[in-house]
Amino acid sequence: MITAHFWLTAPWWEQPLSILPNLLGFSLGGLAMLLSFGNEEFQKFISQKNDVTESDPTAFLEVSASFVHFMLLQLASLVISIAFKALDFYLPWPPALRMIVDTLTVILSGVGYLLFLYSITAMVAAVFAVFRMTSWFEMFQNPPDGPR
């Protein structure tokens, strides 16, 4: 509701269209760097399955999944923004139908802008995934029981 003035009165899709392509490119670069993080021994260590719970995802997969989730949200928000921009034209609807179209536009604009905001706030999960990975690497390099 705080951002209602953006998606009710202005072409809200301009914000996602100006922000998300750069953020998506940066996220893809970050994922590529994350996938190559650490040495080969560390990558093997975090991608091993746990003997007790064979069905659980590995630590490597969990970190990658947070980045993929982040990027899929950005992509979905970008596609919806492009669709709204493409559909931004006036058609002379009959008055009864015009009211329905206007109501749907307001509702779907709110949902589209909410997805945009969610795609940005999902960055927090990706940041913490990177932090988790670096803390694992530090523990791997400096085990509590002494050097490897």
> Tens digits of per-residue pLDDT, 55-108?
788 888 888 888 899 999 999 999 999 999 998 888 888 988 988 988 998 999
Using a cut of 0.95, tell me whether the model's pTM lies above it: no
Give pLDDT, residue 146: 64
36-59 pLDDT, tens digit each? 877 888 888 888 886 666 678 888
Does residue 118 lie within any of the structural domains?
yes
Does residue 44 lie within any of the structural domains?
no
Amino acid symbol at 82: I
13-36 pLDDT, tens digit each? 999 999 999 999 988 888 888 888
- What is the rounded average pLDDT of the residues 117-122? 92
The answer to whether residue 148 scores a pLDDT higher than 60 is no
Does residue 90 lie within any of the structural domains?
yes
Give pLDDT, residue 53: 64
- Residues 97, 34 contacting (CB under 8 angstroms): no
Give pLDDT, residue 73: 94
Does residue 6 lie within any of the structural domains?
no
Does residue 2 lie within any of the structural domains?
no
Q: Where in the sequence is the domain holding 126, given as residue range(s)?
A: 14-36+58-141
- In degrees, rounded to 5, the angle at the alpha carbon of residue 74 between the alpha carbons of residues 22 and 126 is 90
Does residue 114 lie within any of the structural domains?
yes
Does residue 43 lie within any of the structural domains?
no
Cα(19)–Cα(127) distance, rounded to whole angstroms?
18
Nearest CA to 59 out of 118, 139, 144 is that of 139
Does residue 98 lie within any of the structural domains?
yes
Measure Cα distances from 52 to 25, 92, 134 in Å: 38, 64, 25
Q: Into how many domains does the chain fold?
A: 1
Label residue 10 by pLDDT band (50, 70, 90): confident
